[in-house]
A = this chain, B = another copy of it.
Amino acid sequence: MTKTVHFLPDDVKVTVEEGENLLNVAANAGVYIHAFCGGEGVCGKCKVKIEQGEVAATQATKLKSAEIEQGFRLACQSKVITDLVVQIPETIRKDGKKLKRKPKTTRAISARSLDDLIGGWDVEPLVEKRFFSLSRPTIEDNVSDLQRLTRAISKGCPECKAPSYDHPELLQELPFVMRKANWEVTSILLRGKRVEEPDRIIAVEPGDTTSAFYGLALDIGTTTVCGVLIDLNSGKVIAEASEYNGQIQYGEDVISRIIYSQRPGGLEALQQKVVHTINNVIETVCNKVSIVHENISYIMAAGNTAMSHLLLGLNPKFIREAPYTPTCNQYPITKAADIGISAHPSVRLFLYPSVASYVGGDITSGVHACQMHKSPELTLFIDIGTNGEIVIGNQEWMVCAACSAGPAFEGGGIKHGMRAASGAIENFHIEPVTLNPMIITINLVKPQGICGSGLISIVAELLEAGVIDQQGKFNRNLDHPRIREGYDGYEYVLAWAKDSALDEDIVITEVDLDNLMRAKGAMYAGYQTLLESVSMNFTDLDRVILAGNFGNYIDLEQAICIGLLPDIERDKFYYLGNASLLGAQISIIDHKRFLERTVVSRLMTNMELSENPNFMNHYMGSLFLPHTDMSLFPTVQKKLPQKP
């Protein structure tokens, strides 16, 4: 059920889902409300007056009963349950002027445009389950048990040519399964043509088990492992789960993991950790729909090159050492159980092929998901992270590269940086007159730090409000209690210690701004270098696809404002979300898509940027907000405070 929320005096009307938090609604609508405590309801700043309709307010200790009677509520403690007219009192009190409406910035991809992007697929998985009621053996017909089954398969599936059995361990059970099941069995068949292997019977189950037929798609991220369980009869996702990659205890990023892997026993420990995480994901999705992991018939995973190596127990040593060669980019098909994954011994683990040491299977899978290798439109595919990956191309060619953006987007190198977890400031607006903040945290609790999307938001707002300049330096002329010189130089106080979950003020410093500029500068220089390599520029782009969960949380206008994304028509941008997981998911459902995966990886030509002089030039030019060449950012140019 959707409801309408009408904010006054800004006269902003938005449609939202019933149950949404009113502070979030305001923030996403670009309506300023002072909010200092992240949404926990303790600062009492986000007081709004409900003029029409009703909210479900969960806490009101900061409100006097008189205020409550007058219709005041704390926005952060209120859920939308009816259509509303909401008066923002503080802004009225300030000067009565309407504030400039900020454009709605997040272009959530619609179901329709997602379909356009990723194309259609059929429910035709790599494996098949077929039930057979077999004839009983007699002295006149005493073919082997296996032949009895293959004969039935050949009859039921004329295109399956005498499939062979998978491996002795499973054949050991065959005679007993058949007899106990009274010759009524279900065979699981790995179709050779679909997987570049010979036709194989990978398992035989007693009775008719065709209705229990599942596949698992996995995204093996450096930080998080995400899995979706798919009903292979319907092609529908029926359960999802994610969990931090257990390797995190040995290092936050890929490089520290590789370093750890070189210690005695390190490689094994890292492999065991990620396998353990995968097993937890499997257990969670299975429990959600009350199946056992033996019902999963195969697994398709995508991960970056280092994660893929570690999962298979391949030594990633040379990924880190120039000239950065992985052991392999096409991963051997592995029996999942062989590396410790909770799976039936027949279950194969397919890993998306990588392109290079720093353009991994997650990117191949993402590119595959959005089918840019089949589209005539020139597309820029971006996955932002510590290692940002960029792909540019279309159905005819694709170039790709990795940019070492540094850890800023994941909270690294930022004084109060943190991962996108509970308490991280993820949304920020500044009151342009009072310069007071509106901060919203993940889970609406007291702020603990700043995550990547929050950082982008903060920097863009500070820049637009003139609190910082285009070099990332604070305006020394502003006299405001939140702007001060701190231990690391000038800084802005996002949350006072009393409103935060820490014992200190949460700030953003000039050092943080430098780190952010380096991170976004590396990405932008990457786009430029790749485009230049194919003699094109930003105006040639038909589409920009933001992949990765982080991409989903980025506010488009803010990201353009700081120069992380190119300043081109907004309707060219698409949010694809966890494209890596999506690619694996589609491949699992439709073998025709699966078979394309190697083609996709081979179409992508990798460029090494680290020693590329053009890249370095572009990078230097990008160390500015949004860029030294403002002609590249015409819309930002217009809205930034004019220089004196």
Binding site for B on A (CB under 8 A): 137-139, 141-148, 164-169, 171-172, 174-176, 196-198, 312-315, 317-318, 322-330, 332, 334, 339, 354, 356-357, 608, 611
**How far, in angstroms, from A165 to B331 measured CA to CA in the complex?**
8
How many Å from the CB of A134 to the closest CB on chain B?
Answer: 12
Q: Specify which of B137, B167, B172, B328 is in contact with A144 (CB 8 Å cutoff).
A: B328
**How far, in angstroms, from A330 to B148 measured CA to CA in the complex?**
12
Contacts of A323 in B (CB 8 A): 137-139, 141-142
Contacts of A144 in B (CB 8 A): 325-329, 354, 356
Contact across chains for B174 and A142 when beta carbons are under 8 A apart:
no
Contacts of A169 in B (CB 8 A): 313
Apart from A139-B324, A167-B332: 16 A-B pairs, beta carbons within 8 A: A137-B323, A139-B322, A139-B611, A142-B323, A142-B324, A144-B325, A144-B326, A144-B327, A145-B327, A145-B328, A146-B329, A147-B330, A171-B312, A172-B315, A174-B327, A197-B198
Contact across chains for A327 and B611 when beta carbons are under 8 A apart:
no
- Nearest residue, chain B, Cβ from A354: B144
How many Å from the CB of A336 to the closest CB on chain B?
Answer: 12
Contacts of A146 in B (CB 8 A): 327-330
- Nearest residue, chain B, Cβ from A333: B164
Q: Specify which of B198, B312, B322, B325 is in contact with A145 (CB 8 Å cutoff).
A: B325
Contact across chains for A329 and B147 when beta carbons are under 8 A apart:
yes
Q: Specify which of B141, B317, B318, B332 is in contact with A166 (CB 8 Å cutoff).
A: B332
Contacts of A322 in B (CB 8 A): 139
How many Å from the CB of A141 to the closest CB on chain B?
Answer: 8
**How far, in angstroms, from A144 to B314 measured CA to CA in the complex?**
13
Contacts of A356 in B (CB 8 A): 142, 144
**How far, in angstroms, from A308 to B198 measured CA to CA in the complex?**
22
**How far, in angstroms, from A315 to B171 measured CA to CA in the complex?**
9
Contacts of A330 in B (CB 8 A): 146-147, 164-165
A324, A326, A327: which has the most chain B beta carbons within 10 Å?
A: A327
- Nearest residue, chain B, Cβ from A311: B168
How many Å from the CB of A325 to the closest CB on chain B?
Answer: 5
Contacts of A334 in B (CB 8 A): 167-168
Supply 13 A–B pairs (Cβ within 8 Å), ascending by A: A137-B323, A138-B323, A139-B323, A139-B611, A144-B329, A145-B327, A165-B330, A168-B313, A171-B332, A172-B314, A172-B315, A175-B315, A197-B198
Contact across chains for A325 and B142 when beta carbons are under 8 A apart:
yes
**How far, in angstroms, from A423 to B315 measured CA to CA in the complex?**
60
- Nearest residue, chain B, Cβ from A168: B312
- Nearest residue, chain B, Cβ from A353: B144
How many Å from the CB of A173 to the closest CB on chain B?
Answer: 9
Evaluate whether A147 and B328 lie within 8 angstroms (CB atoms) in the complex, with A323-B142, A334-B167, A339-B168 already known: yes
Contact across chains for A165 and B325 when beta carbons are under 8 A apart:
no
Evaluate whether A175 and B139 lie within 8 angstroms (CB atoms) in the complex, with A165-B328, A327-B145, A332-B167 already known: no
What 5 pairs between A and B have smallest CB-CB spacing? A146-B328, A142-B323, A139-B323, A168-B312, A144-B326
Contact across chains for A326 and B145 when beta carbons are under 8 A apart:
yes
Evaluate whether A172 and B139 lie within 8 angstroms (CB atoms) in the complex, with A145-B318, A146-B327, A165-B328 already known: no
Contact across chains for B137 and A175 when beta carbons are under 8 A apart:
no
Contact across chains for A313 and B139 when beta carbons are under 8 A apart:
no
How many Å from the CB of A571 to the closest CB on chain B?
Answer: 38
- Nearest residue, chain B, Cβ from A316: B175
How many Å from the CB of A150 to the closest CB on chain B?
Answer: 9
Contacts of A168 in B (CB 8 A): 312-314, 332, 334, 339
Contacts of A314 in B (CB 8 A): 168, 171-172
**How far, in angstroms, from A329 to B313 measured CA to CA in the complex?**
35
Contact across chains for A608 and B142 when beta carbons are under 8 A apart:
yes
How many Å from the CB of A452 to the closest CB on chain B?
Answer: 29
**How far, in angstroms, from A164 to B143 measured CA to CA in the complex?**
35
Contact across chains for A171 and B325 when beta carbons are under 8 A apart:
no
**How far, in angstroms, from A324 to B328 measured CA to CA in the complex?**
48
**How far, in angstroms, from A77 to B518 measured CA to CA in the complex?**
97
How many Å from the CB of A317 to the closest CB on chain B?
Answer: 7
**How far, in angstroms, from A137 to B611 measured CA to CA in the complex?**
15
